[in-house]
């Protein structure tokens, strides 16, 4: 049921997202970009033959795709984190903590360094999906998720161990590779050198994953009642976990392929969203998408100001934001009922 609380929360976070998108588009540049040029750039997208100045051209060709990617990746990681926490009924579940990010990054690095030649001809998103899927299967299997007997503590331990192992393997590959410096920035989570081609690579998978995440929202509400209750209500716990896990892989792998692994978004945003709108996944999922998109838009802006005119990887910015925020949130609420 839509209450006055939701009618206030959604407009506020939407305004926050729009402001972050606009500020990230024109801010942190060595050129004097203005909001009026952003308006001209947006109008020129509908009128391709309109004359625009240099600032508007820079916004169209460089800034708009970058900020769109930041917002899209933020939404994807936030929804993936909410899905994982709902599937496992574990408040610590996230693509980063369960090794999904590390698996996607490791396979992509192995492909780029020539260790997996049979994947080199495939799009990078396919490679990251394979890595994310393998990591997810290992964690879900050893954690008992495929057998209907989830062990939250075991899943966290397996995820942390697997992530550390894959990270060590990735670093070893980079030490042996002569062009490792080109990949180090990507591994820290970066939006540098992203453009329209990356956005066109990302948005179909983002749209597909978002629609599927919204579809599974009601089933996650039923799954939160327990596996036996869910089966009694006609929802297969195993099938739901398998299909929703596929959604997590799509959202996470497509994001990692474009920006590299970005931590804390999938862990922090669902908790903040529950603090505001509660535990109904039909409302929580779209709110997570808006909140995650806004968070990464503002983080993108901050990443350009921390060491201006140089740029800080956005993955480091999210860690700087996410760590203190998560500690504060954990102190405010000692227990999370998923």
* Residue 283 clears pLDDT 70, i.e. is over it: yes
Question: What would the mean pLDDT of 260-287 be, rounded to a whole number?
Answer: 91
Structural contact between residues 247 and 219, judged by C-beta atoms closer than 8 angstroms: no
Q: How confident is the model at residue 336 (pLDDT cuts 50, 70, 90)?
A: very low
Question: What would the mean pLDDT of 145-162 be, rounded to a whole number?
Answer: 76
Least reliable range by pLDDT among 86-100, 238-252, 322-336 = 322-336
pLDDT in tens, 25-53: 998 888 888 999 999 888 888 776 667 78
Domain borders along the chain are: 4-332
C-alpha gyration radius of the chain: 20
Query: What pTM value is reported for the model?
Result: 0.92
β strands within 241-288, DSSP E = none
Overall size of the chain counted in residues: 338
Q: In the CATH hierarchy, which top-level class contains the domain 4-332?
A: mainly alpha
Most confident of 135-139, 181-185, 218-222, 289-293: 289-293
Q: How confident is the model at residue 120 (pLDDT cuts 50, 70, 90)?
A: confident
CA 97 vs. chain centroid, Å, equals 13
Gap between the Cα atoms of 290 and 173, Å rounded: 36
Angle between helix 237-259 and helix 124-142 axes, rounded to 10 deg: 140
| Cα angle for residues 255, 192, 103 (degrees, 5° grid) | 35
Tell me which long-range contacts 18-23 makes (C-beta under 8 A, separation of at least 24).
Answer: 20/294, 20/297, 20/298, 20/301, 21/67, 21/71, 21/294, 21/297, 23/297, 23/298, 23/301
pLDDT in tens, 210-250: 999 999 998 999 888 887 888 888 888 888 888 998 999 99
Gap between the Cα atoms of 283 and 1, Å rounded: 9
What share of the chain has pLDDT > 90, as a percent? 40
Structural contact between residues 290 and 298, judged by C-beta atoms closer than 8 angstroms: no
Predicted pLDDT at 141: 82
């Amino acid at each position: 049921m839509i209450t006055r609380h939701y009618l206030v929360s959604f407009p506020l976070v939407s305004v926050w997202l729009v402001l972050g998108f606009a500020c990230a588009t024109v801010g942190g540049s060595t050129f004097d970009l203005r909001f009026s040029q952003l308006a001209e750039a947006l109008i020129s997208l509908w009128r391709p033959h309109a004359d625009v100045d240099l600032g508007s051209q820079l916004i169209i060709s460089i800034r708009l795709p970058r900020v769109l990617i930041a917002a899209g990746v933020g939404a994807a990681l936030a929804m993936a984190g909410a899905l994982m926490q709902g599937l496992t009924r574990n408040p610590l579940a996230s693509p980063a903590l369960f090794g999904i990010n590390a698996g996607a990054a490791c396979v992509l690095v192995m492909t780029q360094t020539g260790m997996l030649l049979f994947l080199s001809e495939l799009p990078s998103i396919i490679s990251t999906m394979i890595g994310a899927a393998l990591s997810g299967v290992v964690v879900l299997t050893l954690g008992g998720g495929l057998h209907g007997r989830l062990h939250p503590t075991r899943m966290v331990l397996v995820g942390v161990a697997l992530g550390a192992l894959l990270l060590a393997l990735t670093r070893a590959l980079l030490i042996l590779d002569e062009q490792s410096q080109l990949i180090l920035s990507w591994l820290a989570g970066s939006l540098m050198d992203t453009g329209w081609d990356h956005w066109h690579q990302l948005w179909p998978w983002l749209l597909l994953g978002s629609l599927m995440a919204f579809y599974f929202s009601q089933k996650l509400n039923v799954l939160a009642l327990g596996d036996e209750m869910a089966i009694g209500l006609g929802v297969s716990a195993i099938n739901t976990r398998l299909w929703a896990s596929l959604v997590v892989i799509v959202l996470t792998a497509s994001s990692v392929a474009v920006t590299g692994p970005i931590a804390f978004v999938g862990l922090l945003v669902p908790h903040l969203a529950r603090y505001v709108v509660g535990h109904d996944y039909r409302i929580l999922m779209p709110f997570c998408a808006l909140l995650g998109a806004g968070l990464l838009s503002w983080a993108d802006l901050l990443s350009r100001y921390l060491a201006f005119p140089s740029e800080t990887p956005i993955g480091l910015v999210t860690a700087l934001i996410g760590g203190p925020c998560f500690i504060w949130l954990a102190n405010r609420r000692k227990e999370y009922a998923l």
